[in-house]
Structure 1
Amino acid sequence: MAFTLPFFSAKTLLTTTTTITQFPENPKTLILEQCKTIKDLNQIHAHVIKTGLLVNPTIAENLLESSAILLPGSMDYALAIFRSIDEPNPAAYNILIRGFTLKQSPREAVLLFKEMRENSVEPDKYTFPCILKACSRLQALKEGEEIHAQIVKFGFGTHGFVENTLIHMYANCGKVEVARRVFDDMSKRGVITWNSMFAGYTKSGNWDEVVKLFHKMQESGVVFDEVTMICVLTACGRLGDLELGEWINEYIDMNGLKGNLNLITSLVDMYAKCGRLDTARRLFDEMPRRDVVAWSAMISGCSQSGQCREALALFHEMQKVKVDPNEITMVSVLSACAVLGALETGKWVHFFIKKKKMKLTVTLGTALMDFYAKCGSIENSLEVFEQMPLKNVLSWTVLIQGLASNGEGRKALEFFSLMRGKNIEPNDVTFIGVLSACSHTGLVDDGRNFFVSMTIEFGIEPRIEHYGCMVDILGRAGMIEEAYQFIKNMPIKPNAIIWRTLLASCRVHKNIEIAEESLQHLVRLEPTHSGDYILLSNTYASLGRWEDALRVRSQMKEKGIKKTPGCSLIELDGVIHEFFAEDNSHPHLKEIYNATENMMKRIKSAGYVPNTAEARLDAEEDDKEASVSHHSEKLAIAFGLIRTSPGITIRISKNLRVCTDCHTATKMISKVFNREIVVRDRNRFHHFKEGSCSCNDFW
């Protein structure tokens, strides 16, 4: 092979224009530092073959290290060098195993280790950390356990670096309790060892154990570092442990670590998740430089604290300063859009994800599904589900719950059967969706069977939410007495939601006796909840018992219980408009009230009769009809009618349950104006179309 070897100098890079006069006796620097491309390495490789230097193990290892670890995309070349060595020693195997692991080919690393053992080459203390990292990335627990046995066999069980990677491997494979046994058996534990254990607990979400381990670390006198504090601050945020979080903040202050942006970002995240958004925002604003992690922490904190408008405002600000969002940012923004019902903004986020070619991971895909489902666009949720390359139990659960809450109960149960057919084990949350689907479709017997199978077939102990679903299933079907007895026989104490569910069923099926008893229980549990009194008042009104209805309303007034003001949101052209009942603060007030008056006139002509029992308590008799017509969702719908083109679906989100009058009116509006109207209230979705609603008039 003819080639030109460049002149070697520590100050010059390899070129193809100068011929070397003398090959260095030890070419390590030449191979490991001066080789920048495969072409450079190819020239040296050719020379060592020609001169017979390849038989020198050190030179062969240098060539392997350069091709397997230092140069990009050169594993095939490294493997060719390795195969040309007659009897590779442990160091050669170690380099190649490490190279495969570093270059995202852990499976090949494991196969090479097996070949190493088949060829009776004994691993050394450097082999095991490399191969354990490969097992960790593959989550290959079985292989990892076999390697653990070999570590003990070869006497490397007390080497700190080997033990640290063992802890990491077990934790990453979901065996954090085994990782802890390895940790506890260690005679010497440095900060890296402690951090390996912290990382294991963090990955598995064992936040309590993170805090307990930190206290143990303090007792042991081991000095913690930045990595430790970040793990512990994350745990403090998840647990709401503000006291420990503030102690770490003081430690950071006292030790002059405020310039460490990673630590400050963790503090921002901790304070935001503990509900101290003002402190989090102050720290965030004081940061000299804010990367995507800092922005994501602040946006996530706002979103999780219910400050969804602030989360979206921050996201827009992030865009202005040209910081590219990551998956965590997108998940938080989608969560905020879901809460606000901001479909158009969320759709733009979905477009952005596609444009940036972000991978549709299980987490991001599930967040998209959840967003679409909570905005009443279940077709889009299904589409995302079908596009996801990987789905876990949460993905299936979100789809089942989304279908159930959007009036597609039977389809939800079909997907539950598909899920079981793919051997995906449902969890307790999945069964809440399944039971909700039975409730919305009137499948009483199926609901009973699923409730029983939870424990018998899947070993899931019913929680209060599952009992609530069963009360709803029976109550919706008009089986009020059975629902009442079911509550009485519950092995756990019923909460306010259980009795409120029964009270709502009593209103629909006009069972005044059980409605009265339900309210008695509710008054003891949540004495100031206005919605309970209104439900009983409406039950009396539905039976024509107006004096009793007014008496309940008077009781509310005497006790100083005020009805929570209705608030409805509508998103138009990326802007979220907020309306309150009898609103007088909107900038387009006159236009909105004129549109509402016109809308009410048209539906009255079509047969709508206002239900003045839904008017506010202090409204005079002459003002009751106006009071009812100015409920927040009617104002939002009227605004939607005048600000969107004919045929466009109007989407509303409301903070309370839709009242009977608004439900009746919206059915009529959908028919008279030939519009589909989607209303998300506190309980579920209502898809109004051509004069009917997906809830079949029970919600």
Structure 2
Amino acid sequence: MVAPPAAAAAWPPPSKTQIPNLPSLENPKQMILQQCKTRNDLKQLHAHLIKTRLIHSTSLFLSLLESAALVVPDSLDYALSIFRRHHHHHRRRPHTSAFNIMIRALTYHLFPRDAILLFNHMNRDLVLPDHFTFCAAFKACSALRAMIEAQQIHAHVLKRGFQSYGFIENTLIHVYAICAGVEVARRVFDEMPQRDRVAWNAMLAGYSKNGHWDEVVGLFLMMKEKQNVVGFDDVTMITVLTACGRLVNLELGEWVRDYVEANGMMGNLTLMTSLIDMYAKCGHVDKARTLFDQLKCRDVVAWSAMISGYSQAKRCSEALALFSDMQEANVEPNEVTMVSVLYSCGVLGAMETGKWVHFYVNKKKMRLTVTLGTALIDFYAKCGSIESAIEVFEKMPEKNVFSWTAIIHGLANNGEGKRALEFFRLMKEANVEPNDVTLIGALSACSHVGLVEEGRALFKSMTKDFGIEPGIEHYGCMVDVLGRAGLLGEAYEFIKSMPIEPNAIVWRTLLASCRAHKNVPIAEESFRKITQLEPAHSGDYILLSNTYALAGQSEDAKRVRSQMRELGIKKSPGCSLIELEGVVHEFFSEDDEHSYSKEIYKANEEMIERIKLYGYEPNVAEARIDAEEEDKVVSVSHHSEKLAIAFGLIKTQPGATIRISKNLRVCGDCHNATKLISKVYNRKIVVRDRNRFHHFQDGSCSCNDFW
């Protein structure tokens, strides 16, 4: 015989595990939630309620069910067994609240399809839903993007007369925005007789989730007109600040900042992080940093927003410095942090730091998502480690068009044109539709390996096979394909026949080809076209001067250089970066500011003397424009990449690869010198310049002397 409740104090028998106390009937839910921390607690309490017949108390049963379904970890199956057993024994008295708990729990535990099936089962059993049921069912639909089911549940709402419940309408806005698009959600919103702040926020969130940033701002301005009636909260401000960042709408972002400050909302960390992100995306990184430094507590989202801000502003050294501060603060980075850090490492050529990030990702068993995997591919490719990029690509469980595009571009830029085209073929076989950026990579691959016919065929197939109209970048790639192959006349006619106006970059591409093939007439015409479109920069003059010099017209070459001096046009200072032991070192031409300057210049002098024995002769045409004749040999010997390579030679082990990043195009003198250095010192040297990668080894370069 089951003991009555009065005798409960004598139960249960002693055991090593403390059995939860008898729940208070005054507040059973609170007591059960406090007592049940583990699955074992649940089982003991469940047994206790059965033995004392308290399981027949609706409030106690629902509290137990809620604990199992939503509070105690890994107990959903136990909750389902409680629910089914209770439902089986109470066919005539089923509880709507029990169904509500289980529908919520199934969605929460990522079983939304089962949640919708349970809602249908509830209707078949003639259990009357309430407003909580409908909200829970709608959330399950939104998780599945199940539009038809959402419409069916909406019909139930109308049939049962629940359409006037504000929070049901708010949930409807949310589900339609996700499942059907913002237009349908907006119709629901516009038809609401009264709209509270939650409704406005739901519609703002719908626009935000769909990337309709202009609509977010427009709706907020409408909401602003009703400010005294509706009011704003932190949810409103966060959504609007996100839109301001995407639209670079600093004016509205500043208004929001003033409102937040005036209304005492500056203590909200999420809101402050949104302000930091807004300022960073609007290009005001220093304002973002001021706010960041004022935060008393910084979570991973705040750190990531600031690091991302520096990365987007191309202030990559500061991004990596802040990442180092984040590690010292013992804040564990997340995927967003890692993507921004990898981007900065790629820009700076910071190979060791990026490899550490990859090691950290593996150590923490972070999922290799499409975003993270693509960032790793891009990083390795930008550091010239293309085999590592391919390894990451092959390990990715999922790949999208951006992943394929990153590996195709990486291979093309690293002189692996044929492999890039092979990956392009594999991409099509995988039924991944290329985008316009993918095709730029494929066309670049054709140009780097001289595949003219393949380039022509690919260009023609863009519209026919992929429905992509060629843009200015695609025309520029095609000019490069023809120009590199020496088909300068055809390239010139191709530009003249373009259906869109060629820009200076297209003509500059042709000018570079003229230098390589010593074609003076087309070089002069290209230079003239560039000057008509924009003021020619130092690189244009140097390309023209070098074309004259290579064609044996030294007087014309000197005339162009003199013209540069007269016009006050100075060559942009060369800057080369090399990372050693996690520290990025920066060198400028003829730089003597480095702490190892004496050792570097001594090593540089020895390096130049050694390669002279193998035929190196300094090309004084590459010296500074304003250098005196007697200083030109010294000037060209102290170019930034030569200093960086000399530093690499004295600071790395024999045989180690030296990796350099340069802000300008590699000059002809440094290109010839580096080929010889790779042979004399038996080193692989990877140089990334403004245009592409150069892999120097055994006295040759991957670019085949065309860059």
Q: TM-score range by the shorter chain?
A: over 0.9
Partner of 2:557: 549
Q: In structure 2, what is the equivalent of residue 531 of structure 1?
A: 539
| Structure 2 CA distance for partners of 1:39 and 1:316, relative to 1, 3 Å | closer
The alpha-carbon distance between structure 1 residues 513 and 150, as it changes in their structure 2 partners (threshold 3 A), is: farther
Q: Does 1:94 align with 2:100?
A: yes
Shift of 1:577: 0.9
For the pair 1:259 / 2:267, whether they are aligned, the reply is: yes
Partner in structure 2 of residue 421 of structure 1: 429
Pick from 438, 443, 447 the counterpart of residue 430 of structure 1: 438
Query: 1:110 touches 1:131 (CA, 8 Å); kept in 2?
Result: yes
Task: Give the Cα separation in 1 of the matches to 2:358 and 2:673.
Answer: 34
User: What are the within-5 Å matches in structure 2 for residues 265-664 of structure 1?
Assistant: 265-664=273-672
User: Counterpart of 1:368 in structure 2: which amino acid?
Assistant: L
Structure 2 unmatched ranges of 5 or more:
11-16
- Report the Cα distance in structure 1 between the residues aligned to 2:459 and 2:627, rounded to whole angstroms: 46
SS in 2 for 1:251: helix
Tell me the TM-score normalized by structure 1.
0.92
Give the drift of 1:121: 5.0
**C-alpha deviation, 1:122, in angstroms:** 5.5
Deviation at 1:43, TM superposition (A): 4.3
More off after superposition, 553-562 vs 679-688? 553-562
State the 1:132 CA deviation: 2.7
List aligned pairs for 1:674-693, cutoff 5 A: 674-693=682-701
Number of the residue aligned with 1:218? 224
Residues 2 and 51, structure 2, Cα contact 8 Å, conserved in 1: no
Give, in whole Å, the separation in 2 of the partners of 1:141 and 1:422: 29
Q: Percent of counterpart pairs with the same letter?
A: 66
Partner of 2:673: 665
Go from structure 1 to structure 2 and tell me whether the alpha carbon gap of 1:438 and 1:187 turns closer, same or farther (over 3 Å shift): farther
The answer to whether the aligner puts 1:161 opposite 2:167 as a matched pair is yes
Cα distance in 2 for partners of 1:689, 1:144 equals 63
2-structure distance, mates of 1:310, 1:516: 42
CA spacing shift, 1:499–1:155, aligned 2, 3 Å: farther
Aligned partners of 1:174 and 1:204 also within 8 Å: no
For 1:628 and 1:275, the matched residues in 2 are separated by 37
Residues in 2 aligned to 1:562 and 1:23: alpha-carbon distance in whole angstroms: 85
Q: Gaps (5+ residues) in structure 1? A: 9-14
Give a deviation string over 1:33-65, Cα, whole Å, max 9, x none. 544444444345446556776566655434322
- CA distance 1:656–1:24, change in 2 (3 Å): closer
Write the deviation string for residues 292-321 of structure 1: whole angstroms up to 9, x where unpaired: 222112111111111111111111111112
Does structure 2 conserve the Cα–Cα contact (< 8 Å) formed by 1:6 and 1:19? Answer: no
Displacement of 1:567: 0.5
**1:150-178 deviation per Cα after TM superposition (whole angstroms, max 9, x unaligned):** 55565555543233333333444583444
The one-letter code of the counterpart of 1:75 is L
Measure, in 1, the Cα distance between the counterparts of 2:482 and 2:590.
36
SS in 2 for 1:697: coil
- Give yes or no for the alignment of 1:106 onto 2:112: yes
Does the residue aligned with 1:653 lie in a helix, a strand or coil?
Answer: strand
Answer whether contact 1:6 1:18 (CA < 8 A) is retained. Answer: no
Question: Which stretch has the larger CA shift, 35-44 or 403-412?
Answer: 35-44
1:105 to partner: Cα distance:
2.9
Task: Extract structure 1 runs of 4+ deviating beyond 6 A.
Answer: 1-5, 17-20
TM-score under structure 2 normalisation? Answer: 0.91
One-letter amino acid matched to 1:629: S
**Against the structure 1 CA distance between its residues 552 and 106, is the aligned structure 2 distance closer, same or farther, given a 3 Å change threshold?**
same
How far 1:657 sits from its partner (Å)? Answer: 0.6
CA shift, 1:398, in A, is 1.0
Secondary structure of the 2:131 match is coil
1:566 offset after TM fit, Å? Answer: 0.6
* One-letter amino acid of the counterpart of residue 81, structure 1: I
Greater displacement, 150-159 / 477-486? 150-159
- Tell me if the contact between 2:678 and 2:685 (Cα under 8 Å) persists in the aligned partners: yes
Who is 1:175 aligned against?
181
Q: Deviations along 1:409-464, whole A, 9 cap, x unmatched?
A: 22222222222222222222222222222222222232233333332233223222
SS of the residue 2:333 aligns to = coil
**Cα–Cα, structure 1 residues 129 and 463, in superposed 2: closer, same or farther, change >3 Å?**
farther
Return closer, same or farther for 1:204/1:551 CA change in 2, 3 Å cut-off. farther
Q: Does 1:205 align with 2:211?
A: yes
**What's 1:132 paired with?**
138
Task: Output the amino acid matched with 1:73.
Answer: D
**Contact (CA 8 Å) 1:6, 1:16: kept in 2 or not?**
no
Q: Distance in 2 between matches of 1:267 and 1:381?
A: 35
Alpha-carbon distance in 1 for matches of 2:182, 2:485: 46
Q: Aligned residue for 1:11?
A: none
> Is the CA contact 1:476–1:698 (under 8 Å) kept in the aligned structure 2?
yes
1:257-285 Cα offsets, whole Å, 9 max, x none, are 22222222222222222222222222222
The one-character-per-residue Cα deviations of 1:611-655 (angstroms, maximum 9, x if unpaired) are 221111122222222221111111111111111111110000000
Match of 1:61 in 2: 62
State the distance in 2 between where 1:424 and 1:119 align: 46
- 1:586-630 Cα distance to aligned partner (Å, 9 max, x none): 221121111111111111211223222111112222222222111
Please give the secondary structure, in 2, of the residue aligned with 1:126.
helix
For 2:647 and 2:48, locate their aligned partners in 1 and report how far apart those are by CA, in whole Å. 80
Give 1:240 shift.
Answer: 2.0
Contact between 1:183 and 1:193, CA under 8 Å: does it hold in 2? yes
Give the distance between the partners of 1:285 and 1:98, measured in 2 at CA: 40
1:32, distance to aligned residue in structure 2 (A): 5.2
Task: State the one-letter code of the partner of 1:191.
Answer: R
Helix, strand or coil at the partner of 1:606: coil
Q: Aligned in 2, Cα 1:436/1:172: closer, same or farther, shift over 3 Å?
A: farther
Assess, with a 3 A threshold, how the Cα gap between structure 1 residues 54 and 321 changes in structure 2: closer, same or farther.
Answer: closer
C-alpha distance after superposition, 1:11-48 (max 9, x if no partner): xxxx856996x995995565455444444443454465
Q: Is the 8 A contact 2:527 2:544 kept in 1?
A: yes
Between stretches 233-242 and 642-651, larger displacement belongs to: 233-242
> By how many angstroms is 1:237 displaced?
2.1
Inter-CA distance 61–384: structure 2 relative to 1 (3 Å threshold): same
387-396 or 36-45, which deviates more: 36-45
**Counterpart AA for 1:110:** I
Change (3 A) 1:673 1:151: farther
Distance 1:424 1:142 in 2: 28
CA distance in 1, matches of 2:231, 2:379: 44
**Distance in 2 (alpha carbons) for counterparts of 1:23 and 1:574:** 61
User: What SS class does the counterpart of residue 579 from structure 2 fall into?
Assistant: strand
Kept in 2: contact 1:676–1:688 (CA 8 A): yes
1:194 equivalent in structure 2: 200
Per-residue deviation, 1:359: 2.3
**CA distances 1:465-508 after superposition (whole Å, capped 9, x unpaired):** 22222222222222222222222222222222111111111111
- Does the 8 Å contact 2:177/2:207 carry over to 1? yes
Q: What is the CA RMSD across the aligned residues, in angstroms?
A: 2.7
